[in-house]
Amino acid sequence: MEDKLKKELQTNTLEVVDDISGGCISSSKSYLTDSGRVFIKFNKKEHAARMFNGEMEGLLAIVNTQTIRVPKPIKVIQFENVNALVMEYLEIVNLSRYQASLGEQLARMHLRNLQMIENEDRLGTPIDQEKAIRKFGFHTTTCCGYIPLDNTWCNSWIEFFTQRRLKYQVNLIDRTYQDPELRHLWPCLENKINQFFKEIEIKPSLLHGDLWNGNVAETPDMPVILDPACFYGHSEFDLSIAKLFGGFKSAFYTSYHKLIPKKPGFDKRQELYALFHYLNHWNHFGSSYRSSSIETIKKLLRWMK
């Protein structure tokens, strides 16, 4: 593997600086090369190449917004028994000083495509030859954890979120657990999800997709976001998992909402979006997330009576 890494990275020097822990999906190491230090994630799962290719495309999409710092991806390398994602090495620590900056920069990332849509509609032509995205989805498969996301393009956010996010997860759970209560409750919710979106218009924003506190950090100079599960969707979706697992201070939310104010029904939609993450965790980590999933569906149904 070392020889192939050297060849792929075009380096004579390849020295392990340290093993880096913290991820529950992949292992990682930092290497010193002829051109500097790189960070490499490794994964032996069957579809790891798909997962890493999706992450690389997501990182590139975020880099292209010029709004928020991510490690710049370099390449995906396939070995016989393992896959690797090589990216820029960043010296990072837990997010602390740059909570407000993260909120502002995340909002600017969410706003960028909306502004491009507005400019195209006003001027009748793309700016800098880059076209705005007018559908919900992504041009390739990305993964939230190791589960692939159905990013097939869709004109309707309600349809996309209901079918390609929630129902997709429900179907995966059903294959494994055949849970009778979930089978009973899901159709009741599925038919009423549009009620959460009565007073708002949604246009697609580029989303991180998995913005919990383990996927944010900071350098000495700025905030950084990591491990994206990107797609174009409703900007509010990114805030749901941030709230769910904590670690984001009031300065983050205040700064974010100065640029993107809350719209009617925001708090209830946060619960709806949290349901995706509970279901996804149920699929990843087992029945310890069953109760949170079922109780969230019941709460949402009570709100719609």
pLDDT of residue 80 exceeding 70: yes
Same domain, 44 and 115: no
Residue 237 lies in a domain: yes
Residue 280 lies in a domain: yes
pLDDT of residue 106 exceeding 70: yes
Q: What is the rounded distance in angstroms from the CA atom of residue 109 to the CA atom of residue 57?
A: 16
Same domain, 103 and 149: yes
pTM: 0.96
Same domain, 117 and 34: no
Same domain, 30 and 116: no
CATH number at residue 70: 3.30.200.20
What are the pLDDT digits (tens) for 155-176?
999 999 999 999 999 999 999 9
What are the pLDDT digits (tens) for 1-53?
889 999 999 999 999 998 775 566 899 999 999 999 999 999 998 899 999 99
Q: What is the 3-state secondary structure (H, E, C) of 196-214?
A: HHCCCCCCCEEECCCCCHH
Report, as an integer, the average pLDDT of 149-153.
Answer: 98
Residue 178 lies in a domain: yes
Residue 93 lies in a domain: no
- The residue from 58, 88, 118 where one domain ends is 88
CATH number at residue 222: 3.90.1200.10
Same domain, 80 and 166: no
Same domain, 104 and 206: yes
pLDDT band at 305 (very low <50, low <70, confident <90, very high): confident
Helices (H) and strands (E) in the chain, counts: 10, 11
Residue 133 lies in a domain: yes
What are the pLDDT digits (tens) for 176-231?
999 999 999 999 999 999 999 998 999 999 999 999 999 999 999 999 999 999 99
Same domain, 110 and 39: no
- The residue from 59, 88, 117 where one domain ends is 88
Residue 94 lies in a domain: no
- So what's the pLDDT on residue 21? 58
What total of structural domains would you count in the chain? 2
What are the pLDDT digits (tens) for 246-303?
999 999 999 999 999 999 999 999 999 999 999 999 999 999 999 999 999 999 999 9
Q: What percent of the chain has pLDDT over 90?
A: 91
Which SS3 state, helix, strand or coil, does residue 234 take? coil
Residue 31 lies in a domain: yes
- The residue from 40, 69, 88 where one domain ends is 88
Cite the active site residues. Answer: 210
Same domain, 191 and 267: yes
Same domain, 114 and 54: no
Same domain, 24 and 148: no
Nearest to 223 by CA among 115, 127, 121, 97: 97
pLDDT of residue 96 exceeding 70: yes
Same domain, 77 and 189: no
Burial call 148-186: b when 16+ CB within 10 Å, e when fewer: bbebebbeebbebbbbbbbbbbbebbeeeeebeebeebb
Q: Is the Cβ–Cβ distance between 218 and 282 less than 8 Å?
A: no
Residue 210 lies in a domain: yes
Edge-to-edge strand ranges of the sheet holding 36-43: 14-20, 27-33, 36-43, 83-88, 73-78
| Parent domain of 115 | 99-303
Same domain, 122 and 258: yes
